[in-house]
Amino acid sequence: MGSGSSTNTTDRFESGGDEVTSVYEAMFREADDAIFLVDAEQTGGEYEFTFKQNNTAHQQQTGLTEDAMFGKTPRELLGEEQGAAVEANYRRCVERGTTIEYEERLDFPGGTTDWQTKLTPVTDDEAVTQIVGIARDVTEQKEREREHQRTYRRFQTVLETMSAAVFLKDADGRYLLMNQACRDVFDVDVDPIGMTDEELFPEAVAARARADDRRVVEDGEQIEIEETIPTPAGESVRLTRKSPVYDEEGTIRGVCGVSTDITEQRERERALQQLKDRIELAVEGAQIGVWDWDMTTDEVEFNDQWAAMLGHSLDEIDPHLDAWERRVHPDDTESVEAALSEHVAGETEYYDAEHRMRTASGEWKWIRDIGKVVERDGDGEPVRAVGIHLDIDEQKRREKELIRTRRLIERTQQSASMGWWEVDLVDESVTWSDEVYRIHEMPTDEPIDLEAGLDFYHPDDRDTIERAFTRVTEAGESYDLELRILTASGGTRWVRTVGDPQYDENGEVVGVLGLFQDITDRKEREQTLEETKQRLTVALDGTRTGVWEWDLATDEVIWTESMERLFGLEPETFEGTYEAFAEHVHPDDLPALERAIERAKAADEPLKTEYRIRTADGEQLWGEVRAELVESEDGSRRLVGVLSEITSRKEYEIALEATREELRKIIDLVPDLVFVKNRDGEYLLANEATAEAYGKTPAEVEGCSEADIIPDVEDSVEFRQDDLEVIESGEPRSIGEETLTTADGETRVLQTTKIPYKVPETGEDAVLGYARDVTELKEYERTLEEQRDSLKLLNQVVRHDIRNQLMVVESYTELLEGSLPDDQSRTYARTVIEAAKQAAEITETAKDVTDVLLQVGSDRSPVGLRTVLTEQISQIRSDQDRATVSVDGDVPDVTVLADDLLESVFRNLLTNAVVHNDKDAAEIAVSTRAADDSVRVSIADNGPGIADDHKKQIFQEGEKSLESGGTGVGLYLVKTLVDKYGGDVWVEDNEPTGSVFVVELLLAD
């Protein structure tokens, strides 16, 4: 029928004894199933089967043409073994005389295929003469079934060998499956199918499990729970994950659970808690990355955790060695390869290295890489290695933080002359801190044992320390002693030694941990105090102690001189009131002190408390107050007590309690914004004030970039630019005014100082910032500016009106003077005219004073001395008829640091020399003398002079001589301006009479 066939198809159909129409021929030829025709001939009870014909589909699927098959028996066509099996099926069809179906696997030229075959007998006179076969290629289907069976067997093997308990329930809570581990946990020996939790657990446990199942079925989400399950072996702490199970239509039909025994893990965690005094390592939910390296091909199999640890999914990781190599930090490659080479060479039992790896985000993460060669070939060459990755990034950060904290503690210990020591009773080792070595005056690298350590104690104190050490090791009794030691150089020191027992998990003492402090200075002070105690009264017992008395009725407080000295006051300067005393108490301690006083007054009991005091010179001290309530015969009550300074003791107590957390709290207590950011803008530190501005906690801010958390993006850009300028320049930067929009939308004004900073642990560049909220201050400054402008306007208006009126008085008086009849009247008129002129000059001085008082800042600029001084000399010559002004030499052409009010300095000094001159003719001599960095201007007069005891006071505000009719403001203005210029002014005696006013000004560069 098909192409390539040389036998007439019609003849073959007719040879079967049936007339086949062309319709049936077409159906036979075009059918999709493989169809073939076999002749069946019986001879002597045996059958012989020969192939007659196959259709096109059969030829294509088997690779056999009609010519190749025609006339051949199955054994001839398919071989002895296959042919015999095929003939057996044909014989079965003939003998039964009915259609049969079966599956078979045959080797054809087209390949080995699986077939689903249907044989139908063709009878003639009740004898089977032919067989029509229809075969369907089911190779792919059978392969899928075989693969399914293999997968199912593997699944069953994994399921039954898993240490985790695995189970499957239907939506009603009936068990459909339990693996061996699950059956072992629940001690189930029978078939668990159909069982429920109520049959396995107590009622409460079963109810919780059923509630968890319902949550999974109703929410359609996986849950993870930690639960305690009663088992025959005892309670088991388990981590159970429950997931919904869907059918083909997406409907949840049950719950699948995987339960892992974490009892030992929880026990280990509790055991690790006992080591909290020595280590600070918390590992929560650590994921382990696993790698399996074929060292012959460099193919590596990674697990999901290995990829996730670096921020990747597993399909993003190439299963090859270079996927690891190209992610290792270049600086760590050499040490990692060295560790790997040593292990491969058999020099180490394990390959163990710590290195950094690049994550998906481009950052570097610390990894501990542990592995081992597990397979070698016949020549000993490595073939296969396996290992794990542990994420130690947080551990590395903590190590750096521990190093920083240890340095802080060491510095604290050194400042307090305090160290620590430890004795390990198991290995009989002794460990001293550097400070303990220093106290003993020994090199820090010299080994020490227990006997040698005890030998350092003074012979008179050795029995005491040995008995104390025996009690702490045998009975667990701590000790706290003050004893003497003999140092390595032969000196004697007093020390405070503290020892506490250290226990193992069985409660046995396995070591002693203690503190060691040099208290020589304190013991010497105590000895001095003891000697002084014999000469002083009980009230003045000890140094740095003051006695006080408070009359509760009159509020009068009496202090001794020792009390005043303690507070840094001069004798007899204390104001004698409770309010004056309270000003010296630290504001944070005042409420507690007042509560203690009220309790003592109410309960009539002794007062004893501690608080901080602030001395007059700003020093802060700790004091301990002891007092008793005393009642007089008249019923009045007084508190009488002593205040002893205990600063050293409190500093010692504070030093013992100082930890990194307390340091952080101090930073958080600062009301201003304190922060550290690296070059990438990431916050390395943020105090509470900084975090509060962003509406977050410090933990939420640290580790984030400013752009991620700042409410206003524009603020972030400006702050970022300032940060980079400080880092790049290495120079501090002060921002006088910048704005920040807080999380609640409020705009605050900040004064910020930023300085370059290097992170101690990494050496990376960063910026340390300190920002003070000056919003209220700025608003106050704006208010002052508005008031200043108003005052300035008022001054201008008032001065203008007064000067106008004075000019009227002066003009009319001058007109009147010419018409007066006698000299006495004209003298009166002249007096009025002079008074009007002086009043006008006073308005000028008032203007200058107002300008000085209203000036903001103290900016100075170069001013030409010759021009200003010459103009004022000319002006005084013009205004004052009775004055002669001479200049000694030329005024130097120099510039001085001043401003436009310098003319007021010389005008007031020159006018003062005339106005206060008691001679008919005022003689004024001006001289100048320039030095390297300054110039002096001297203005001498022939007036009455100034008494020595009045020379310093004359420049004070409102100060004037007894004979002066002026306001005293002019010289005060001179002093104020010259001080503002950074210069000086004073008065000397002139010879033979008069005064010399000297002004010294700084030269401009």
Two tokens at 924?
A: 């004024």
pLDDT score for 843: 65
Whether 726 has a pLDDT exceeding 80, the answer reads yes
Q: What percent of the chain has pLDDT over 90?
A: 32
pLDDT per residue as tens digits for the range 847-877: 665 666 555 455 789 999 999 999 999 988 8
Cα 167 to chain centroid distance, Å, stands at: 44
Top-confidence residue, 865 or 827: 865
Place of tokens 């704006």: 782
Number of Cα atoms under 13 Å in the Cβ half of residue 541: 7
Top-confidence residue, 1 or 978: 978
H or E element that contains 108: strand 100-108
In this prediction, residues 199-223 reach a mean pLDDT of 89
pLDDT per residue as tens digits for the range 363-393: 999 999 999 999 999 888 999 999 999 888 8
pLDDT score for 964: 44
- Pairing relation of β-strands 733-741 and 747-758? antiparallel
pLDDT score for 961: 44
The region of weakest confidence among 241-245, 279-283, 437-441 is 279-283
Q: How far apart are CA 273 and CA 271, in angstroms?
A: 5
Whether 17 has a pLDDT exceeding 60, the answer reads no
Q: Is the backbone peptide bond immediately before 992 cis, with ω within 30 degrees of 0?
A: yes
In this prediction, residues 683-690 reach a mean pLDDT of 86
DSSP labels, 514-567: EEEEE-HHHHHHHHHHHHHHTTS-GGG-SSSEEEEEEETTT-BEEE-HHHHHHT
pLDDT per residue as tens digits for the range 45-60: 788 999 998 988 888 8
Q: How far apart are CA 841 and CA 843, in angstroms?
A: 5
Number of Cα atoms under 13 Å in the Cβ half of residue 863: 18
pLDDT per residue as tens digits for the range 98-137: 999 998 888 888 788 888 999 999 988 888 999 999 998 8
Whether 23 has a pLDDT exceeding 70, the answer reads no
Whether 735 has a pLDDT exceeding 50, the answer reads yes
Whether 963 has a pLDDT exceeding 70, the answer reads no
In this prediction, residues 250-271 reach a mean pLDDT of 85
- Phi/psi for 742 (5° steps) reads -80, 175
The residues, ordered by sequence, that sit 6+ positions from 640 with a Cβ below 8 Å of its Cβ are: 547, 548, 549, 550, 627, 628, 630
C-beta separation of 650 from 621 below 8 A: no
DSSP labels, 839-871: HHHHHHHHHHHHHHHH--S---EEEEHHHHHHH
pTM: 0.28
In this prediction, residues 287-305 reach a mean pLDDT of 90
pLDDT per residue as tens digits for the range 607-645: 999 999 999 888 899 989 988 988 887 788 889 888 888
pLDDT per residue as tens digits for the range 551-589: 888 889 988 888 888 888 888 888 888 898 999 999 999
Instruction: Tell which residue, 117, 104, 39, has the closest CA to residue 73.
Output: 39
Whether 467 has a pLDDT exceeding 70, the answer reads yes
Q: What percent of the chain has pLDDT over 70?
A: 85
- Phi/psi for 80 (5° steps) reads -65, -50
In this prediction, residues 449-454 reach a mean pLDDT of 92
Q: How far apart are CA 725 and CA 733, in angstroms?
A: 8
Cα 486 to chain centroid distance, Å, stands at: 46
The residues, ordered by sequence, that sit 6+ positions from 914 with a Cβ below 8 Å of its Cβ are: 876, 880, 882, 883, 922, 924, 941
**How much is the mean pLDDT over the chain?**
83
C-beta separation of 262 from 238 below 8 A: yes
pLDDT score for 548: 87
Two tokens at 542?
A: 């000890």
pLDDT score for 684: 86
Residue 569 DSSP class: P
Q: How far apart are CA 339 and CA 328, in angstroms?
A: 14
In this prediction, residues 726-746 reach a mean pLDDT of 86
In this prediction, residues 996-1002 reach a mean pLDDT of 94
pLDDT score for 20: 46
Two tokens at 327?
A: 């992610």
C-beta separation of 548 from 641 below 8 A: yes
Q: Report CA torsion sign: 243, 245, 246, 252.
A: negative
Whether 538 has a pLDDT exceeding 50, the answer reads no
Highest mean pLDDT among 257-261, 284-288, 704-708: 257-261
pLDDT per residue as tens digits for the range 306-321: 999 999 999 999 999 9
- Return the CA Rg of the chain: 53
In this prediction, residues 223-228 reach a mean pLDDT of 88
pLDDT score for 177: 87
pLDDT score for 270: 76
